[in-house]
Amino acid sequence: MIKDNRINAILDFIPSNKVILDIGCAQNPEIHLEIAKKSKKTVGIDLNKKGINDLKKKGLEAYEMSAEEINLKYKFDYIIAGELIEHLNNPGLFIEGMIKHLKPDGKIIMTTPNISSILLYTLIVLFDKTQDPTHIFYFDKKNLEAFVSRYNLKIKITKYIPPEIKFLGDSILFKIIFFISTLIANIGFKINNRLFGSYLLVVLEK
């Protein structure tokens, strides 16, 4: 079993024997390989040329392609986009591209950092830090729901995912507060509350 809360949460929502598109596959090759094991067909796209070539060497179908310019010949039962939307300059093009490649009864599974969580509040408000300086947008359920509704998508399932417990940062005070808030999140997430889930997982349908 992969010891990553986010990866395991995604895998839990993917049934066997489906045709799946994994966007950003080279960023998390572990989850791509796990998805491929249980799917009927898995296609991956990413801008990481080396990562794509590595997956191809393993016999997997993968293409060097932007998430904002998806152009494939397939329609998919499930499209997976793990922690990607917050990095994109034009998330609207990204959503439109996924819809174009989704079967009529298909589903989109997305994860993104949850701006409503205790941990992100600690990072951004108290310490003026982010988990990743390449993040352009931040979402919670409310504003993500409003955003995808512009494209006639609905959130059918919401799950809040706890962070991995670890120390991060420079100062001793920051490390202590980060660890405590992470520990609280891991205990509290069991009630699926937005305050305790540092990552937001949604299942979208047309």
Query: Tell me: the pLDDT tens digits for 33-91?
Result: 999 999 999 999 999 999 999 999 999 999 999 999 999 999 999 999 998 999 899 99
What is the reported pLDDT for 40? 96
Residue 170 falls within a domain, yes or no?
no
Instruction: Using alpha carbons, select from 50, 87, 52, 53 the residue that is nearest to residue 67.
Output: 87
Residue 157 falls within a domain, yes or no?
yes
Residue 123 falls within a domain, yes or no?
no
Residue 30 falls within a domain, yes or no?
yes
Residue 120 falls within a domain, yes or no?
no
Beta bridge partners of 159: 201
Residue 132 falls within a domain, yes or no?
no
What is the reported pLDDT for 181? 55
What is the reported pLDDT for 25? 96
What is the reported pLDDT for 193? 58
Residue 129 falls within a domain, yes or no?
no
Q: How many residues does the chain have?
A: 206
Greatest Cα pair distance in the chain: 52
DSSP state of 139: B
Sheet hosting strand 102-113, strand order edge to edge: 61-64, 41-46, 19-23, 76-82, 102-113, 199-205, 154-161
Chain-centroid distance, C-alpha 44: 14
Q: What domain count does the chain have?
A: 1
Residue 11 falls within a domain, yes or no?
yes
DSSP state of 124: I
Provide the domain limits for residue 96.
5-112+137-163+199-205
- Looking at residue 93, which CATH number applies to its domain? 3.40.50.150
d(CA 84, CA 193): 22
What pLDDT digit, counting tens, does each position of 137-160 carry?
888 899 999 999 999 999 999 988
